[in-house]
Amino acid sequence: MSFAGRRGIMAAGATAIILGGIAMTGTAHAQECDTVVFSDPQWTDITSTNALTGVVLEALGYEQKVETISVPVTFEMLGAGEVDVFQGNWMPAQQKFVDAANEKGGIENLGVNLKGAKFTLAVPEYVAAAGIKSFADLGAHAEEFDHKIYGIEPGAPANQLIQKMIDSGDFGLEGWELVESSEQAMLAQAKRLERGKDWIVFLAWAPHPMNNQFDLTYLEGGDEYFGPNYGGADVYTLVRGDFAKACPNVGKLLDNVSFTLDMENTMMGLIINDGMAPNDAATKLLKEDPSVLDAWLEGVTTKDGGDGLAAVKEALGV
């Protein structure tokens, strides 16, 4: 699932069915520090961060259990104490879910795990070099863009924003066409046009491996539609309200763990493009750059109280 589609999907899903499935096992797991229950809304970025954290957790002697749960249900389960960890709290987009969970039972925010996420329109660097740096530059170059903006799957909230821009005539976009397709089809079209140095403007976001595959320029000036700072967001780690107190060693690890856009772009590329299993991709990434472990494992022991950093490095063979 792409980040671009998630803002409107957060409230969707078969909530009753998922709640029933989790309720049978969630409470028992949530009370055991030995097994740490993570939520994954099936976003590749969160699958990636869960795997990176999980590889470290398991090397310390813990078990990670990942539940596939929609965002609304994740917050309900955190508030009810039936899920332990969510590493995908995109803010400010999820503020209403945070507020609702705090009203019901409380969650704890352990801080930012990723800075600099973004989501807006972008163009290839050669188009930016020709003077297209802002939404306001698009209208005067309709012919070069073939009057088209490329979006993602039909019905996605991001597409609705683009269509609203076109319908309102903002940025001189009267008469332009929104081209709806899958994320993969959109990126394939961008790749085809890039080969011939043809112009294209399309939805882009980070983290995503597209940022390694293309030389992109994110457009300025779309704050009214996508939000400030290029549709910017910070991503936070949340835990159930009593988790850090009940499981202080794991809580310390979760508090320490943070990621970079480059790390997540690379990790997602291993999963999406290379077909690697998430834990295999995480192991590969950490073996290639174990330097992050020093900060992640500061003040963290194994489950039995041993040297956490030494144990993880030994498990990884570094």
Structure tokens at 69: 């749960």
pLDDT computed for residue 32 by the predictor: 57
pLDDT computed for residue 260 by the predictor: 95
pLDDT computed for residue 155 by the predictor: 79
Q: What is the pLDDT of residues 47-103, one digit of tens each?
A: 999 999 999 999 999 999 999 998 889 999 998 889 999 999 988 878 888 988 888
**Is the pLDDT assigned to residue 266 strictly greater than 90?**
yes
With b for 16 or more beta-carbon neighbours within 10 A and e for fewer, the 114-123 pattern comes to beebbbbbbb
pLDDT computed for residue 92 by the predictor: 84
pLDDT computed for residue 153 by the predictor: 84
Q: What is the pLDDT of residues 168-221, one digit of tens each?
A: 999 999 999 999 998 889 999 999 999 999 999 999 999 999 998 899 999 999
Rounded to whole angstroms, the Cα distance separating 6 from 207 reads 13
Q: How sure is the predictor about 257, in pLDDT bands with cuts at 50, 70 and 90?
A: very high
pTM of the complete model = 0.80
Q: What are the C-alpha distances in Å from 282 to residues 49, 61, 213, 216, 288? A: 8, 17, 20, 26, 10
**Mean of the per-residue pLDDT values for the chain?**
89
pLDDT computed for residue 172 by the predictor: 96
What domains does the chain contain, in order, with CATH numbers? Answer: 3-115+233-316 (3.40.190.10), 117-231 (3.40.190.100)
Tell me if 226 sits within 8 A of 119, measured CB to CB. Answer: yes
Q: What is the dihedral of CA 103, 258, 86, 316, to 10 degrees?
A: -150
Structure tokens at 160: 């609705």
